Copies of this chain bind each other. A is one copy, B any other.
Amino acid sequence: VLASGGPDALTMRALAQRLGVAPNALYSHVDSKTALIDEILDDLLAEIEAAAALHALMAATHRVLLAHPHLVPLYLARQGARGPHAQRLGELMLTWLEQYGLTGSQAVEARRVLIVYTLGFAAFATRPLFQTDTQPQRPAGDLVATFDTGLRWLLDGISSREPS
């Protein structure tokens, strides 16, 4: 639906037209545009299946996000997702972090770091960060590999953390 024109093209009126219906007809099915987007975003997180390790879980999340690049800006605009699947994913992460010895607020903080990193990286995966004419736009290395490298840095740091 929204894949054709990017996230900016996702307008209630355009969606209604695509469905061959009047714009306000949508409001019989959804409370508001915000609620609609929230449902879409949470539905995507449902695709993330439980993994065998924390690294694998975050990699799976990253993969799902990259598979729907036009949704990523919406996560940024909403600053995350708060639906039931987001909840489930969050709890899952806490469970894994416990295996690293992190509990309570420390685990919550580590989770925040991981989410920020994963979502942020997905956001910048498509678009270049700097417009340097002198440099090749897209760095040689695979972006997925770059994500993986940074993720390993974080997980190594988390697992070798000292009490602050």
Contacts and interface: CB of A to CB of B under 8 A. Distances in A.
Contact of A108 (B80, B104, B139): B139
Nearest to A129: B80
A164 interface: yes
A101 interface: no
Contacts of A20: none
Given A87-B130, A116-B120, A121-B116, A109 B139 contact: yes
Contacts of A130: 80, 82, 86-87, 90
A141 B90 contact: no
A149 to B, nearest CB: 7
A150 B120 contact: no
A87 to B, nearest CB: 7
Contacts of A124: 79-80, 112, 115-116
Contacts of A113: 117, 121, 146, 149-150, 153
A106 B157 contact: no
Contact of A77 (B73, B115, B119): B73
A127 interface: yes
A149 B113 CA distance: 9
A33 interface: no
8 contacts: A73-B79, A108-B135, A112-B129, A113-B117, A113-B121, A115-B129, A150-B157, A153-B158
Q: Which 7 A-B pairs have the closest CB atoms?
A: A153-B157, A120-B120, A116-B120, A113-B150, A105-B139, A76-B76, A109-B146
